[in-house]
Amino acid sequence: MSSAELTADQDGLGCAKLVVFCNSVEDNPFMAGAYHGSGEPECTINIGISGPGVVANVVKANPGINLGELANLIKNTAFKITRTGELVGRVASARLGVPFGIVDLSLAPTPVIGDSVADILEAMGLERVGAPGTTAALALLNDAIKKGGAMASSYVGGLTGAFIPVSEDAGMARAVAEGALTLEKLEAMTCVCSVGLDMIAIPGDTSADTISAIIADEAAIGMINRKTTAVRIIPAPGRKAGELVQFGGLLGQAPILAVNRFSPSDFIARRGRIPAPIHSLNN
């Protein structure tokens, strides 16, 4: 049992942790979605780089530049950390005699102060993550990260973008606690970020139908936009919206987010499959 699981149990929660992916990639080195896909070699090294603090410091040091200049600055920073990551990966590959795979430069935050994607977005000029303009700022960040990586290496892969977990990002958790960031706004942000609804605590009495519908919404975003999306939400038994739940370690802590009280049960009860979108006929 991990330390995070022990913390949850000691807090009387015993929460289950489950992640559901749409369009999952098989060269993703980041948990919780990492797995060894059938297209991967028998053994390979995939490098994950996480540098939200580095990007945040660069943005904070340049408060007066316009959006185009800001994007270029982030792109250049992503270029540098990607080159470094590939060099480290290739040295490890040579020493271990294992093929080098890809570099994934996803900005994966931790609960440590200064290691936050939210800090980057707020350094761009948002009073709090969740304010109007958040989705646009996140789109700029994600695109610049991908462009910088593509310039630096021919082996950029995995997810490569900005993760927006709530409990694992102190800035995101603060925005939720202050009422700036809602579940609906987070869903909108997943249209332009890397992956999806991540490490979000919800009330323990949230129905299975509602959770199924949240997963369906996120999968729909992934299918229509041809991108990877995911849902990693944690019902907290006996807890209500606004209460704080502790997970411990790198999983951090988060205020419990309110969930829309109107029911999707009749929609979910239809069962069956939503037909594949028309772009599946590209073949």
Q: Looking at residue 16, what is its pLDDT?
A: 58
User: How does DSSP classify residue 268?
Assistant: H
* Low pLDDT (below 50) residues in the chain: 1-10, 12
| Domain containing residue 47 | 3-282
Q: Looking at residue 11, what is its pLDDT?
A: 53
Distance in angstroms (rounded) separating the CA atoms of residues 163 and 194: 5
Picking from 273, 176, 277, 178, the residue whose alpha carbon sits closest to that of residue 233 is 176
Distance in angstroms (rounded) separating the CA atoms of residues 183 and 202: 9
Note if the pTM is more than 0.85: yes
Q: Looking at residue 50, what is its pLDDT?
A: 83
Number of compact structural domains in the chain: 1
Picking from 182, 191, 148, 190, the residue whose alpha carbon sits closest to that of residue 51 is 148
For the domain that residue 209 is a member of, what is the CATH number? Answer: 3.20.70.20
Distance in angstroms (rounded) separating the CA atoms of residues 55 and 171: 15
Q: Looking at residue 138, what is its pLDDT?
A: 97
Tell me whether the omega of the peptide bond preceding residue 94 falls within 30 degrees of 0, making it cis.
no
